[in-house]
Amino acid sequence: MTVQDAFARPRETSAAATSARLIILALACGGFAIGVGEFAVMGLLPEIATAFGASVPNAGYAISAYAVGVVVGAPLIAIAAAKVSRRSLLLMLMSVFVLGNLASAAAPSLGALIALRFLSGLPHGAYFGVAALVAASLVPLNRRTQTVGYVMLGLTLATLVGTPVLAFFGEMLSWRLMFFVDGLIGALTFALISIYLPKDKPHAEASVARELIAFTRPQVLLTLLLAASGFGGMFSIFSYIAATATDYAHMPVFMVPVILILFGLGMNAGNLIGSKLADRSLMGTIGGMLAFNVVVMTVFGLTAHWQAALCVMTFLLGNGFAAAPAVQSRLMDVAREGQTLAAASMHSAFNIANALGAWLGGRAIADGYGYPATGYVGAALSLFGLAVFALLLRMDKAAKAAA
């Protein structure tokens, strides 16, 4: 029996519910592994630089290489694997991830590590895109975004638990340990997917052309633009949150981990609450969170000097992730035949947001506007996202009128 046959019309039985939970657990485990691989290395750059006799900025190219791998890999893999079943594709993606991380643990030089981080980033977007499609197919339509949120919970838990724990042991023992353990988590994911996800077959009409149709739809492209700008605001602030806390708000250094934990708690809360709200009103959740971000980021800029306010605003900033499951579901809706490509490209947009937000925030600081300016940059990006959202609403209404 294929996944499509088994889950196209989910039956509310105990056996079906248990099977769905195990599949979601397997997919979320992969999200946890990917999240650790993406974020834990940020806390280990000094150790990596020392090991290879390089500067910290040069070691930072390992982070940039991973992000480039995500942006490039998501659409290319989705197109190349158009005729591959979702189960097989997930297993192939996790295999590349495992090999990339285990090889990173044994990298003989910084150049080799940078190349291997690029390789490790290639499966990132395609994995989350396909995992979201599989998860959404397991439950009735009125619970699909919640289920997508559970898969993303692996990523948000990685920022809260996995990243600080592995970064700590990486600092105490060896930075190579982090990559090795993350490779093992990826191997566990491979095993869980092999066991619990039923074999399926690709769609009979699957093709490269069918996937590319997604990028001919204005609503798909605008939704990706909304994601790149809307989430860019979050990264504009978060990229410099440690320096804002210590250099501007004059918080002690030991409070930086607390700030990071608050952000992680906010992401997890936002993910769970936002995915439930999106099943009630998909576009309402996206628009509401963009407006919420404008307010939070503006207040952040105004109150960043006040330590208590900085802590509260950091938690609320993490809540902005609430829009992520909703945007993922939106892409599934508007992509139609090209769902895999559109769903995978969501994470390309997310990494573009990371790079765009960090760059614009950095420019504001470098130009002398200070750390609070990152909040105003973030608010401006969210306002741009709101403008794109308003255009999407008009297009939706026009499409319904035409229908």
Are 89 and 197 in contact, with CB atoms under 8 Å apart?
no
Predicted confidence (pLDDT) at residue 327 exceeds the cutoff of 60: yes
Of 152, 179, 206, at which residue does a domain stop?
Answer: 206
Looking at the fold, whether 178 and 215 belong to one and the same domain comes out as no
Strand, helix or coil at 206? coil
Of 178, 206, 234, at which residue does a domain stop?
Answer: 206
pTM over 0.85: no
Predicted confidence (pLDDT) at residue 50 exceeds the cutoff of 70: yes
Strand, helix or coil at 9? coil
Q: Which residue in the block uniquely carries the two structure tokens 């319904």?
A: 400
Predicted confidence (pLDDT) at residue 282 exceeds the cutoff of 90: no
Predicted confidence (pLDDT) at residue 2 exceeds the cutoff of 60: no
Looking at the fold, whether 353 and 276 belong to one and the same domain comes out as yes
Q: How many angstroms separate the CA atoms of 375 and 238, rounded?
A: 9
pLDDT at 78: 78
Looking at the fold, whether 198 and 228 belong to one and the same domain comes out as no
The contacts of residue 346 (CB under 8 Å, 6+ apart) are 74, 125, 128, 129, 132, 224, 227, 327, 328, 331
pLDDT at 71: 84
Looking at the fold, whether 275 and 328 belong to one and the same domain comes out as yes
Looking at the fold, whether 31 and 107 belong to one and the same domain comes out as yes
pLDDT at 4: 42
DSSP string for 113-179: HHHHHHHHHHHHHHHHHHHHHHHHTTS-GGGHHHHHHHHHHHHHHIIIIIHHHHHHHHHHT-HHHHH
Strand, helix or coil at 262? helix
* More confident of the two residues 345 and 25: 25
What percent of the chain is predicted at pLDDT more than 70? 91
Looking at the fold, whether 75 and 193 belong to one and the same domain comes out as yes
Looking at the fold, whether 228 and 371 belong to one and the same domain comes out as yes
What's the pLDDT tens digit per position in 78-93? 777 777 888 888 999 9
CATH number, domain with residue 297: 1.20.1250.20
Of 206, 236, 258, at which residue does a domain stop?
Answer: 206
Question: What is the band of 5 on the pLDDT scale with cuts at 50, 70, 90?
Answer: very low
Looking at the fold, whether 184 and 220 belong to one and the same domain comes out as no
* More confident of the two residues 360 and 299: 299
Q: How many angstroms separate the CA atoms of 329 and 340, rounded?
A: 12
Looking at the fold, whether 115 and 238 belong to one and the same domain comes out as no
Looking at the fold, whether 109 and 186 belong to one and the same domain comes out as yes
What's the pLDDT tens digit per position in 334-390? 877 667 777 778 878 887 887 788 788 888 888 888 889 989 999 999 999 999 999
Predicted confidence (pLDDT) at residue 234 exceeds the cutoff of 80: yes
Looking at the fold, whether 222 and 325 belong to one and the same domain comes out as yes
Looking at the fold, whether 220 and 198 belong to one and the same domain comes out as no
What's the pLDDT tens digit per position in 182-223? 999 999 999 999 998 888 776 655 556 666 776 778 888 899
Are 377 and 364 in contact, with CB atoms under 8 Å apart?
yes
Full domain range(s) for residue 33: 1-206
pLDDT at 166: 75
Counted domains in the chain: 2
